[in-house]
Amino acid sequence: MFSPYLGTLVRWSLVGATMIALMYGTYKGLRLLKVRREAAVGYALILPWLLGLIIWQAYPILASFYLMFNEYDVLQSPRWIGPGNFKTMFFGDPRFWPSVRLTLGYSFLSVPLGMAGALATATLLSRNIRGVGFWRTLYYVPAVLPAAATALLWRWMFAGQGLINTVLGPVYRLLNIAPLTWFSDEKLVLPSFIIMSFWGVFGANTVILLAALKNVPKELHEAARVDGAPGWTRFWKITVPMISPALFYTLVMGMIGAMQNFTAPLFITTPGGVGTFLSVYIYQQGFTQFKMGYATAIAWFLLVLILLLTLVVFKSSPVWVYYEGEKKGD
């Protein structure tokens, strides 16, 4: 009997060797077919990705497109039910819309807030102060913590007798209200997730925006200063347009990431599962309820949501993203 390690090691090596042989074979085969050397090398080099695209992207997408119109519990073969899964999703599942609301609310609030925080921090750090490296490192630390550790930490911070309620104690007494219960209060689950994300996310964005700020030509600011433009105006009319490509990148990537939030919510228990993000819900339906057809249908819904959001951001980008070297139509 193979140990689990040895078995995987053998199969891993075989697949790797096969991949290299296939790349070599592709090159030789294309050369035999009189393909130019440059093209033959190119195709051979991208072969691993191309095969991956077919096996692990294209085929699964087609399969899941088929699967979402089926009822499938893994044990019996898929049963075609047409739009049945979508009917359940939109009209019959009391947990679906709350999950959509939570996911969308989280993306719409946490990403822009995180970007604003990152921009403010990056602006402070870009002012040639002493010890930039130290501050940059410090602010980046929460972003490198494992999401699971961050989630556990904040669950504890938000606990009934956790640090946050202890600090807020005098405020509660002043206003004469009962202490907030954060993740245990249905209405406060979303704000709690947003506060947690604010601590965790803006480190990486700060680094990206700081690099962008450093690339803004000093002459622009000098010229504007000579013309008597105050700091605030210079920030909005020069800095923001010049770094808008970086803002655009962080916005798009942040949105896509936030829509797929998975690990943190898995570590946070909420009353009645109101803190179930869509990705978690897909996992639960597919792998604990074994409703694979239904889970796939929700996954496609998530895909469409992400596409729509990305499209909106992309369509609006000519209005607010400025690429140097491109003509602006005004």
* CA dihedral for 55, 61, 66, 69, sign (positive or negative): positive
Nearest to 267 by CA among 126, 121, 152: 152
- Closest distance between other proteins and the C-beta of residue 168, in Å? 13
d(CA 260, CA 81) in angstroms, rounded, equals: 27
CA distances from 189 to 152, 197, 202, 257 (A): 15, 12, 20, 19
Would you count residue 89 as binding other proteins (CB under 8 A)?
Answer: no
The answer to whether the beta carbons of residues 268 and 155 sit under 8 Å apart is yes
Q: Which positions from 107 through 146 interact with other proteins, judged by CB under 8 A? A: 121, 124-125, 127, 129, 135-142, 144-146
Report residue 320 as tokens: 């607010």
d(CA 24, CA 32) in angstroms, rounded, equals: 12
Would you count residue 85 as binding other proteins (CB under 8 A)?
Answer: no
The answer to whether the beta carbons of residues 71 and 81 sit under 8 Å apart is yes
Number of residues interacting with other proteins: please give it, by CB under 8 A.
101
Would you count residue 182 as binding other proteins (CB under 8 A)?
Answer: no
Would you count residue 163 as binding other proteins (CB under 8 A)?
Answer: yes
Containing H/E element for 119? Answer: helix 96-125
- Closest distance between other proteins and the C-beta of residue 19, in Å? 5
With H, G, I as helix, E, B as strand and everything else as coil, classify residue 20: helix
Would you count residue 313 as binding other proteins (CB under 8 A)?
Answer: no
Pattern 237-276, binding to other proteins, x per CB under 8 A?
--------xx--xx-----x--xx-xx--xx-x-------
SS (H, E, C) 252-318: HHHHHHHHCCCHHHHCCCCHHHCCCCHHHHHHHHHHHCCCHHHHHHHHHHHHHHHHHHHHHHHHHHH
d(CA 232, CA 209) in angstroms, rounded, equals: 18
Among residues 23, 100, 122, 189, the one that binds other proteins under rule CB under 8 A: 23
Would you count residue 316 as binding other proteins (CB under 8 A)?
Answer: no
Nearer to other proteins, 45 or 223 (CB): 45
Would you count residue 157 as binding other proteins (CB under 8 A)?
Answer: yes
- Closest distance between other proteins and the C-beta of residue 91, in Å? 22
* CA dihedral for 121, 123, 126, 127, sign (positive or negative): negative
Would you count residue 223 as binding other proteins (CB under 8 A)?
Answer: no
- Closest distance between other proteins and the C-beta of residue 176, in Å? 19
Would you count residue 296 as binding other proteins (CB under 8 A)?
Answer: yes
Nearer to other proteins, 129 or 177 (CB): 129
- Closest distance between other proteins and the C-beta of residue 265, in Å? 11
Would you count residue 289 as binding other proteins (CB under 8 A)?
Answer: no
Nearest to 212 by CA among 163, 176, 248: 248
- Closest distance between other proteins and the C-beta of residue 285, in Å? 10
- Closest distance between other proteins and the C-beta of residue 66, in Å? 9
Q: Which positions from 40 through 79 interact with other proteins, judged by CB under 8 A? A: 40-46, 48-53, 55-57, 59-61, 63-64, 67, 74
- Closest distance between other proteins and the C-beta of residue 256, in Å? 6
Among residues 119, 207, 213, 251, the one that binds other proteins under rule CB under 8 A: 207
DSSP state, 80? E
- Closest distance between other proteins and the C-beta of residue 237, in Å? 21
d(CA 110, CA 79) in angstroms, rounded, equals: 40
Would you count residue 9 as binding other proteins (CB under 8 A)?
Answer: yes
